[in-house]
Amino acid sequence: MLITTKSGTIEIKEGESLLDALEKNGYIIEYQCRSGYCGSCRLTLKKGKVDYDSPPLAFLYPDEILPCCCTVKGDLYLDLSHPSSIGSSYQKDFFDFDDLFDESLNLEVLNTNK
């Protein structure tokens, strides 16, 4: 089966999770539970069909899928870009904690139990 994204096409083996196939091919997908509870990995499905062994607990709009727990039922088109096609900033964390604080930051603890 073929998975087509904005950046190209990859092949998925029967029985392989969509999340695993995408990660193996260099796509960066946010995830937490890998079982359909949290919804962190949700993607927009443009065309194709997936199924679930049991309905995921995470809320999904009709055009969304959870690649961690869905079963691919044929060729898919996903609204997803490979990091190499949109620049290296895609792979960077949202922010760096070191950038948030000045080295001269001082904290003062006040005792309000007087």
For the entire predicted model, the pTM comes to 0.72
Are 7 and 81 within 8 A, CB to CB? yes
CATH number at residue 71: 3.10.20.30
Q: Examine residue 104 and state whether it is found in any structural domain, yes or no.
A: no
In terms of C-beta distances under 8 Å and separation of at least 24 residues, what long-range contacts does 23-29 make, across chains too? 25/82, 26/82, 26/83, 26/84, 27/80, 27/82, 27/83, 28/83, 28/90, 28/91, 29/67
Res 85: pLDDT: 72
Residue 25 pLDDT greater than 50, yes or no: yes
What is the total count of domains within the chain? 1
pLDDT tens digits along 39-98: 999 999 999 999 999 999 999 999 999 999 999 999 999 999 988 875 544 444 444 445
Q: Examine residue 33 and state whether it is found in any structural domain, yes or no.
A: yes
Q: Examine residue 30 and state whether it is found in any structural domain, yes or no.
A: yes
Res 83: pLDDT: 84
pLDDT tens digits along 28-43: 999 999 999 999 999 9
Domain coverage including residue 38: 2-82
Q: Examine residue 100 and state whether it is found in any structural domain, yes or no.
A: no
d(CA 92, CA 72): 29
